[in-house]
Amino acid sequence: MTQPTLEFAFELRVDVAPDVHLGRGADEVLSFTPITGGTVSGPLLSGVVLPGGGDWAVTRSGTAELEARYLVRADDGAAIDVLNRGYFRATDEAAARMARGENLAEDDPGVYFRTAPVFQTDAPAHRWLAEHQFIGLARDEDGQVCVRVFVVR
């Protein structure tokens, strides 16, 4: 059976504002994180993350189910819609380190932060984004959410 390969496409560095707690139930917390800007850089796409949009998170039993929606403006001016779903969880020790401001690597054994971004655009130069599957390896770094995006080949 053929194994898929991953090709690094770009890194999203997303600026965020403080979370807004929305609440829900005893073992479920709903929150919203506004997206205020950011950058996109890599061999296959460069540009900026536009202000607006945000990340909705439902946390159950220590795992956050994430759904972020925002726009990217490519260096050539094309607009690209991003829907990025994923999961985040951290051990108590890793969460404490993050709360102290420590940047943890994507492969830290105490953290699982993975996404599956989907892109939409009608820009001919970027149509490939809407025609491929992607995975993201994410981390929090210096107040930004950073996602290294790989295209599945």
Q: Answer positive or negative: Cα dihedral of 152, 104, 34, 43.
A: negative
Residue 25 above 90 pLDDT?
A: no
The pTM score is: 0.93
Delimit the domains of the chain by residue range: 6-152
Please, what is the average pLDDT of the chain?
96
What is the pLDDT at residue 23? 84
pLDDT tens digit string along 84-139? 999 999 999 999 999 999 999 989 999 999 999 999 999 999 999 999 999 999 99
Percent share of the chain, pLDDT over 70: 100
Q: What was the pLDDT predicted at 75?
A: 98
Question: Which of 2.60.40.10, 2.40.160.20, 3.30.750.24, 3.30.200.210 would CATH assign to domain 6-152?
Answer: 2.40.160.20
Which of 36, 38, 48, 101 has its CA nearest to residue 73?
48
Cα→Cα distances 78→53, 119, 120, 123, Å: 17, 12, 11, 6
pLDDT number for residue 24: 80
